[in-house]
């Protein structure tokens, strides 16, 4: 008999699976704030405020102490205290919770996951404020990216996992003809068995968006998940975990299938836990050096990482020079380049950029791009909405270091400046730093400079631009590659580079589509083929590596 939640969500799951397979536009959760009610934003703010200066309630085993939330990039002191639990207690509880969850089967697990996501959707605005005040995203971006977009990605993972699990029948009668003798009849049963316990290490800049795929892929395939947020972005995932636990409990399962493990920057726990023999899956979104540690050391687990990279843009020609500049200006400014999709290196050949209004040489392009950024950010109120706040002081330090390089070499195209936020006087708001770099300055532009820092690099020819881009993306990794060219031969070259570098390619972006947009149910985020990520959101391998099939058979009769 089907679980009532499967009856409730079956149609949604089927529609989501169709979307995954079809990859044309579909979304389960609205990105229009009005859909959430007239006063939703304000109600979300109130719900968020209720967490401040208080103890976050979470009924987990093995509480040893409490960890206090770090202040918001907007300057707000959060002072939320989260229960800090013993990893061993969480492991023991999670292991005990799995057997019933496994027996429940694929339909029920997928439906319970869909229910959790639906309830997360109901708490979207509260989570939006939590995302804003941990990541530094503007409220609108925190709402869209941290809310419906993250929820869609979660549902996409559930659908992908459900589809793969449903390819394995639960039982079958196998009947083999034996010539003149009666057939050999064997009853076989197949069970989707979880890999084991999953450790999810979330990042500081998109705690829900980058965590939901792994959380729901692991959970849907039968694994228990220990969620370890970045110390500076605990609240969005604490709310998520609390809600998941409550939903699991109400659906008749052990809440310890999902638990929250917090630490602070001073005493990190992730590395100790990741090599524990019971941890069989590790998902890690974060800086390359950090994530690579888990790839190297968590040998008993399957490790999925989303790291950093050096995304490239090659500009050869365009039939809309101004539209290209506007689009690039938005891409470089949005959330101050603090996503793994933001470009860092813009390659232009000394032959210039061919356009219907003439050829623009690299120096001219640098000046024009600088002006386009300044025009975008001219109005302060609009600028702070585009830029958001800088999540980490380390990013401010990187801006300063790169400004120093630019000053010394005389290559600043557009300096970064601090902006005053009208509502948050202590917010860390910095406009983008745009630099020129010589092709020989490899040690500068080929290293990732996370944040609002980018380089215009002049090459001899567009072929060299492609060669440099390929080398950067293969060696340093990349999740996006933008090419501006109206020339079919160049476009083919670009496709070849993208294939060899294993990177998603976007051609001639102008208007309303930006490089940093990755649409659930349609765009693959990362490929796993270059150092920027060992996994793709959300391909089949992302879910099929999370389960085994265990079979039993007996002669019928």
DSSP code string of 275-340: T-TTEEEEEEES-HHHHHHHHHH-TTSEEEEE----EEEEE-B-S-HHHHHHHHHHHHHGGGG-ST
If one asks whether residue 512 binds a second copy (CB under 8 A), the answer comes out as yes
**Shortest distance, position 492 Cβ to a second copy, whole Å:** 11
The interface region with a second copy, picked from 208-216, 378-386, 433-441, 495-503 by CB under 8 A, is 495-503
Strands 63-68 and 81-85: antiparallel
If one asks whether residue 50 binds a second copy (CB under 8 A), the answer comes out as no
If one asks whether residue 293 binds a second copy (CB under 8 A), the answer comes out as no
The interface region with a second copy, picked from 151-159, 223-231, 422-430, 547-555 by CB under 8 A, is 547-555
Cis bond before residue 518 (omega within 30° of 0):
no
Tokens 């600043």 belong to residue: 412
Q: Hey, is 431 helix, strand or coil? A: coil
For residue 140, the tally of other CB atoms under 10 A from its CB is 16
Q: Kindly state the tokens that stand for 113.
A: 């996951």
Q: Hey, is 418 helix, strand or coil? A: strand
Binder of a second copy out of 108, 135, 191, 232 (CB under 8 A): 191
The interface region with a second copy, picked from 4-12, 416-424, 425-433, 523-531 by CB under 8 A, is 523-531
Instruction: Give the Cα separation of 89 and 95 in Å (integer).
Output: 10
If one asks whether residue 487 binds a second copy (CB under 8 A), the answer comes out as no
Binder of a second copy out of 1, 11, 38, 173 (CB under 8 A): 173
The interface region with a second copy, picked from 47-55, 110-118, 167-175, 285-293 by CB under 8 A, is 167-175
Give 246 or 517: the residue with its C-beta nearer to a second copy. Answer: 517
If one asks whether residue 527 binds a second copy (CB under 8 A), the answer comes out as yes
If one asks whether residue 271 binds a second copy (CB under 8 A), the answer comes out as no
If one asks whether residue 528 binds a second copy (CB under 8 A), the answer comes out as yes
For residue 403, the tally of other CB atoms under 10 A from its CB is 16
Contacts of 242 (CB under 8 A, 6+ apart): 56, 57, 58, 260
Give 46 or 500: the residue with its C-beta nearer to a second copy. Answer: 500
Binder of a second copy out of 12, 41, 90, 102 (CB under 8 A): 102
8 Å CB contact between 135 and 206: yes
For residue 73, the tally of other CB atoms under 10 A from its CB is 27
The interface region with a second copy, picked from 38-46, 142-150, 364-372, 497-505 by CB under 8 A, is 497-505
If one asks whether residue 475 binds a second copy (CB under 8 A), the answer comes out as no
Tokens 């109400």 belong to residue: 250
Q: Kindly state the tokens that stand for 96.
A: 């005990």
Give 202 or 312: the residue with its C-beta nearer to a second copy. Answer: 312
Give 75 or 323: the residue with its C-beta nearer to a second copy. Answer: 323
If one asks whether residue 519 binds a second copy (CB under 8 A), the answer comes out as yes
* Binding flags for a second copy, 6-35, as an x/- string (CB under 8 A): ---------------xxxxx----------
User: Interhelix angle for 212-220 vs 150-166, to 10°?
Assistant: 30
Give 179 or 425: the residue with its C-beta nearer to a second copy. Answer: 179
8 Å CB contact between 333 and 432: yes
Instruction: Give the Cα separation of 270 and 230 in Å (integer).
Output: 10
Instruction: Give the Cα separation of 199 and 273 in Å (integer).
Output: 8
Instruction: Give the Cα separation of 425 and 239 in Å (integer).
Output: 27
Q: Which residues contact a second copy by CB under 8 A?
A: 21-25, 102, 163-164, 167-169, 172-178, 184, 186, 188, 190-191, 193, 195, 495, 498-499, 502-513, 519, 522-524, 527-529, 536, 539-541, 544-545, 548-555
């Amino acid at each position: 008999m089907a679980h009532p939640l499967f009856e409730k969500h079956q149609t949604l799951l089927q529609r989501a699976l169709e979307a995954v397979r079809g990859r044309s536009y579909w979304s389960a959760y609205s990105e229009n704030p009005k859909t959430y009610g007239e006063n939703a934003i304000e109600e979300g703010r109130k719900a968020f405020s209720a967490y401040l200066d208080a103890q976050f309630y979470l009924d987990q085993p093995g509480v040893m102490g409490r960890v206090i939330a770090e202040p918001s990039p907007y300057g707000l002191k959060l002072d939320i205290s989260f229960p800090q639990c013993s990893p061993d207690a969480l492991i023991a509880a999670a292991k005990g919770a799995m057997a019933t969850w496994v027996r429940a089967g694929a339909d029920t697990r997928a439906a319970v996951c869909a229910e959790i996501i639906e309830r997360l959707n109901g708490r979207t605005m509260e989570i939006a404020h939590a995302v804003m005040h941990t990541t530094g995203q503007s409220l609108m971006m925190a709402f869209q990216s941290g809310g419906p977009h993250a929820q869609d990605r979660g549902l996409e993972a559930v659908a992908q996992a459900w589809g793969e699990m449903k390819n394995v029948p639960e039982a079958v009668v196998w009947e083999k003809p034996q010539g003149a003798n009666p057939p050999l009849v064997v009853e076989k049963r197949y069970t989707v068995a979880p890999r084991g316990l999953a450790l999810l290490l979330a990042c500081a800049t998109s705690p829900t968006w980058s965590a939901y795929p792994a959380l729901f892929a692991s959970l849907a395939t039968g694994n228990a998940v220990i969620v370890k947020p970045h110390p500076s972005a605990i609240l969005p995932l604490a709310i998520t975990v609390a809600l998941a636990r409550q939903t699991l409990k109400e659906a008749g399962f052990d809440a310890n299938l999902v638990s929250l493990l917090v630490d602070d920057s001073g005493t990190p726990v992730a590395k100790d836990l990741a090599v524990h023999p019971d941890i069989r899956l590790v998902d890690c979104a974060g800086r390359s050096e950090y994530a690579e540690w888990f790839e190297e050391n968590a040998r008993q687990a399957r490790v999925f990482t989303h790291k950093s990279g050096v995304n490239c843009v090659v500009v050869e020609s365009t039939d809309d020079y101004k539209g290209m500049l506007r689009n690039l200006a938005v891409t470089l400014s949005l959330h101050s380049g603090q996503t793994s999709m933001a470009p860092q290196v813009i390659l232009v050949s000394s032959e210039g950029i061919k356009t219907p209004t003439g050829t623009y040489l690299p120096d001219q392009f640098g000046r024009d791009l600088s002006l386009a950024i300044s025009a975008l950010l001219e109005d302060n109120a609009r600028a702070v909405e585009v830029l958001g706040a800088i999540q980490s002081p380390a990013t401010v330090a990187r801006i300063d270091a790169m400004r120093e390089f630019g000053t010394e070499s005389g290559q600043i195209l557009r300096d970064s400046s601090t902006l005053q936020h009208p509502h948050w006087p202590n917010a860390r708001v910095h406009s983008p730093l745009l630099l020129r770099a010589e092709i020989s300055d490899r040690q500068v532009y080929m290293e990732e400079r996370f944040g609002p820092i980018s380089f215009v690099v002049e090459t001899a020819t567009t072929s060299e631009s492609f060669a440099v881009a390929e080398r950067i993306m293969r060696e340093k990794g990349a999740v996006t590659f933008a090419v501006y060219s109206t020339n079919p031969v160049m476009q083919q070259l670009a496709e070849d580079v993208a294939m060899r570098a294993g990177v998603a390619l976007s051609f001639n972006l102008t208007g309303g589509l930006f490089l940093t947009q990755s649409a659930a149910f349609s765009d693959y985020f990362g490929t796993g083929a270059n150092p920027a990520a060992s996994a793709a959101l959300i391909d089949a391998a992302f879910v099929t590596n999370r389960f085994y099939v265990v079979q039993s058979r007996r002669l019928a009769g």
